[in-house]
Structure 1
């Protein structure tokens, strides 16, 4: 388990933010701490830049400029931070949109604190996270969209790399499976994301779903417990 996880919360519901400030340190035994928060999406980038967080939780239902804009702004201002979107509902369209804007996960605000902490640990370990019940809906939504112009032209090596990314394999695990160095895996992954015109492994996973590379039974093979299983 990582130590000293710094969390920034972007949410205009002050009681919810206060709850996270109290509960996250408790359920994580002091590992996770809310180091800063803002209720104004326009200030999200500045807060994230100065707080140097490991994770940024962003409520998608915020006044203008809105949660999706905050996700994008945080990604630019604090590129090393991992952004997790939150919402009071389970709208798969909103979850998919958050991932396309750069979030690496989506969690309902109704999640218990322990489940939320497990999801955050999974995000820090390189997973993209979605509630299990949303996975099928998000994948199906992407399948209905127009085919990606590049996905169908991937070579065998690129398709295998994408499949391993979708299944949540670590850099070391991919290196072992593909018999290359970890540095090579990082270079290949960066090149694949550029070719697919996506900015994160989460977006690549969504694209894999629309291209028919992500199957509904994959989620069952991914370790985790509670309603916030790593889904990709």
Structure 2
């Protein structure tokens, strides 16, 4: 992709303790994609990540998650706290999907396995620079399967009335209509909804509806 005339190249910093990989990536971006990216610097130390990004006002950061002793997740968290406009692509050479999820929760804008060819990082970097997110397909599958159902003890703890309420709530029904369907006062319906949200561990009706959809239980619930 050729940048539009007048567009400044994206400033990239590399936080990775694997010198050979970091050098190769810097050479690739500078040699083949110099119109799109310029290297603002690189470091092998987690503690220096935020300062490095600040010093060159980095647009993008490439962070290895397996950096001792603090780890790449700490680097991401510190970097986002001190220079939030820097968008971050996290990389990992391990198959630890929990670590990858932690990186996304810490503020990473994308995650890819380090097994990809260095030249394959250009597309994701451009995507992240445009404000979108990039997630490795393996991680995406793991996240989807991991959040598919709520904990089993939550489902078994719900009474038939609460299951019916959850079903009504998930259709977007207003409190006054829920009260009519549950044959209770509107005030009681509000208390029942608050109690249900607490049991489900969610903060609002939208989250409760999303949880119901992901769990697949709506197929088994009725509004009757």
TM-score > 0.5 by shorter chain: yes
| Structure 1: gaps (5+ residues) | 160-207, 214-232
Cα displacement (A) at 1:144 = 5.3
**Paired position in structure 2 for 1:77:** 82
Which of 15, 28, 32 matches 2:20? 15
Specify the SS of the correspondent of 1:126: coil
Partner of 2:202: 149
Aligned residue among 134, 138, 141 for 2:139: 134
Task: Indicate yes or no: 2:59 matched with 1:91.
Answer: no
- Could you list the runs of 5+ residues in structure 2 that have no partner in the other structure? 152-199, 215-224
Q: Is the 8 A contact 1:95 1:138 kept in 2?
A: no
Cα pair distance change 1:75/1:128, threshold 3 Å: same
How far apart are residue 25 of structure 1 and its match? 2.4
> Which residue does the alignment assign to 1:227?
none
Distance (whole Å) between structure 1 residues aligned to residue 15 and residue 8 of structure 2: 22
Instruction: Kindly name which structure, 1 or 2, has the bigger radius of gyration based on alpha carbons.
Output: 2
Of 26-35 and 75-84, more deviation after overlay is shown by: 26-35
Verify: 1:39 aligned to 2:44, yes or no.
yes
RMSD (CA atoms): 2.4
The 3-state SS of whatever aligns with 1:65 is coil
Distance 1:109 1:122 in 2: 17
Shift of 1:82: 0.3
Deviation at 1:33? Answer: 2.1
For residues 43 and 212 of structure 2, what CA distance do their matches in structure 1 show?
38
Structure 2 residue matching 1:143: 3-state secondary structure: coil
- Displacement of 1:115 in angstroms is 1.6
- CA offsets, 1:64-92, max 9 Å, x none? 22211100000011111101111112332
Q: Given the two structures, how large is their TM-score scaled by the length of structure 2?
A: 0.64
Runs of 4 or more above 3 Å deviation: 142-148, 210-213
Deviation at residue 22 of structure 1 after TM alignment = 0.3
Note the alpha carbon deviations across 1:107-160, whole angstroms, 9 max, x for none.
12221233200001111122111122331112222335666513x5129xxx9x
Paired residues, number? 160
